[in-house]
């Protein structure tokens, strides 16, 4: 079932939680809503589910307006961050719950319920836990049971609100791979809320980046990573260095270095920001006359295949905002060893690749 979100706005008192949000989710797609705490992810999910009403706008399921369709009739499965399993029921009964409370005419027989629940528990690979109680499960197992319970009523839409948020990093990672495989098997149209960039990029077909109640960018994981549409998206997805400077005539002057910037050939002495990923910065030992940012290698963390470096620019200039901030660089550990650098050395840093935004790009209405 496809979902169309049309011009949804929602206000709590004076606070605008969602501002004119529109988005199409294709049938069978897995979309991640990604954004910082308080940006409106849960509010949007609750409006889609029918647990909350929007001030303006509408939600369409397969082209039909759901405004007057009750939560119970929307055929939506829900999984929340904090597993809400019924404590006094076994795993089996938790998963069976949605089927047992159906109106008599639609309710499957006991034998059908048993078969269905057994299938679902196999699907989430926990059939051996059927007789346990929630308190006897690990957090990750509980989330998988919560998902099995949501799937029991064969929802047309699955809404997942930080389902793995309360779990530790390793379990989260396992579960998100598992969720992706499960989705590939079932193809239920799913919206997955997270504020973890890695999780969104790894799991979703498309990522929707939200900031302050507005969509900043929609795209495939690769698109939002490679071509961030705004400074916000750049900063939110992954580590990034920010340099301040001025753009003029197709070039940007930043903290003692010059970058070509043909996309801003029209800019005339405009304020500019350049975003550079740590692995797009070249680091070489200082040699007199070298061009680039002269800095002290203040810290080098070499764990595994990557060397993560912190560089402190030596010529910080109080008139130049940001010129005193630490630059993060990353290079292969072997390359770092070959350079023969150690903490305290003077180095030269040169961005290989930068994304430049001039002032008008980042002034939002
Ligand atoms: N019932 C409510 N009454 C008043 N304000 C609310 C209500 N629900 C949400 N808000 C506010 O709306 C904003 C968006 O909340 P929402 O729960 O959608 O954020 P979120 O993106 O899910 O954040 P998180 O990642 O922390 O879960 C927040 O500033 C929140 O305080
Ligand atoms: Mg939330």
Q: Is the pLDDT of residue 164 over 90?
A: no
Question: What per-residue confidence (pLDDT) applies to 308?
Answer: 96
* Domain at 141, CATH number: 3.40.50.300
* Residue 269 belongs to domain with CATH number: 2.40.50.140
pLDDT category at 365 given cuts 50, 70, 90 is very low
Q: What confidence score (pLDDT) does residue 170 get?
A: 83
Question: Does 82 sit in the ligand 1 pocket, CB within 6 Å?
Answer: no
Burial of 217 (0-12, 13-18, 19+ CB in 10 A): buried
Estimate to the nearest angstrom the gap between the alpha carbon of 14 and the chain centroid: 27
Kindly state whether residues 244 and 174 are assigned to the same domain.
Answer: no
- 118-141 CB burial, b ≥16 within 10 A, e <16: eebbebbebbebbeebbeebebbb
Structural domain containing residue 137: 3-235
Residues 43 and 109 in one domain: yes
Residues 202 and 274 in one domain: no
Residue nearest to atom 27 of ligand 1 (CA): 37
Last residue of a domain, one of 235, 259, 292: 235
- How many domains would you assign to the chain? 2
Choose one of 9, 14, 15, 199 to mutate for the ligand 1 pocket test, by most ligand atoms within 8 angstroms of C-beta: 15
Residue with tokens 């897995």: 30
**Mutual angle of helices 139-152 and 91-100, in 10-degree steps:** 20
Residues 349 and 285 sit within 8 Å (Cβ to Cβ) = no
Do both 302 and 217 map to the same domain? Answer: no
Q: What is the mean pLDDT of residues 266-274?
A: 85
- Of 235, 252, 282, which residue constitutes the final position of a domain? 235
Give me the residue label for tokens 């039909």.
Answer: 64
Query: Is pLDDT larger for residue 164 or for residue 65?
Result: 65
Nearest CA to ligand 1 atom 22: 42
The arithmetic mean of pLDDT across residues 342-349, rounded, is 94
Q: Is the pLDDT of residue 82 over 80?
A: no
Same domain, 14 and 94: yes
Which of these three, 171, 206, 235, is where a domain ends? Answer: 235
Same domain flag for 133 and 278: no
Mean per-residue pLDDT, 168-179 = 84
Is 331 close to ligand 1, i.e. is its CB under 6 Å away? no
The span from the CA of 281 to the CA of 276, in Å, is: 7
For position 323, what pLDDT does the model report? 58
Question: For the segment 10-46, what is each residue's pLDDT rounded down to a tens digit?
Answer: 999 999 999 999 999 999 999 999 999 999 999 999 9
Same domain, 213 and 252: no
Backbone angles phi, psi at 303, to 5 degrees: -130, 120
Please state, in angstroms and rounded to a whole number, the distance separating the CA atoms of residues 295 and 129: 57
> Does 161 lie in the same domain as 291?
no
Minimum CA distance residue for ligand 1 atom 7: 12
Verify that 185 and 245 share a domain, yes or no. Answer: no
Atom of ligand 1 nearest to the CA of 39: 21
């Amino acid at each position: 079932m496809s979902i169309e979100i049309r011009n949804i706005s929602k206000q709590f008192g004076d606070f605008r939680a969602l501002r004119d949000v529109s988005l199409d989710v294709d049938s069978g797609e897995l979309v991640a809503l990604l954004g910082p705490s308080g940006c409106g992810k849960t509010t949007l999910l609750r409006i889609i589910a029918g647990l909350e009403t929007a001030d303006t706008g509408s939600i369409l399921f397969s082209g039909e307006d759901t405004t007057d369709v009750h939560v119970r009739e929307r055929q939506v499965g829900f999984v929340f961050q904090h597993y809400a399993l019924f404590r006094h029921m076994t795993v089996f009964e938790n998963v069976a719950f949605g089927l047992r409370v159906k109106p008599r005419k639609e309710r499957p027989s006991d034998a059908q319920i048993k078969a269905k629940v057994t299938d679902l528990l196999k699907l989430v690979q926990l059939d051996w836990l059927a007789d346990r109680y929630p308190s006897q499960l690990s957090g990750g197992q509980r989330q998988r049971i919560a998902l099995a319970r949501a799937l029991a009523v064969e929802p047309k839409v699955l809404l997942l609100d930080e389902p793995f948020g309360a779990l530790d990093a390793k379990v989260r990672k396992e579960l998100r791979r598992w969720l992706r495989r499960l989705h590939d098997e079932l193809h239920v149209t799913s919206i997955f809320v997270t504020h973890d960039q890695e999780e969104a990029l790894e799991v979703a077909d498309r990522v929707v980046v939200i900031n302050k109640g507005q969509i900043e960018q929609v795209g495939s994981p690769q698109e939002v990573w490679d071509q961030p549409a705004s400074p916000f998206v750049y900063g939110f997805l992954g580590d990034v260095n920010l340099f301040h400077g001025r753009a003029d005539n197709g070039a940007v002057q930043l903290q003692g270095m010059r970058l070509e910037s043909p996309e801003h050939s029209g800019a005339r002495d405009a304020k500019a920001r350049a975003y550079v990923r740590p692995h797009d910065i070249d680091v070489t030992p200082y040699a007199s006359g070298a061009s680039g940012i002269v800095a002290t290698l203040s810290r080098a963390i070499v764990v595994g295949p990557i060397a993560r470096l912190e560089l402190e620019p030596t010529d910080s200039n109080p008139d130049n905002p940001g010129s005193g901030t630490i630059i993060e660089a990353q290079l292969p550990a072997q390359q770092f060893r070959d350079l023969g650098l150690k903490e305290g050395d003077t180095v030269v840093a040169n961005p290989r690749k930068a994304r430049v935004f001039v002032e008008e790009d980042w002034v939002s209405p």
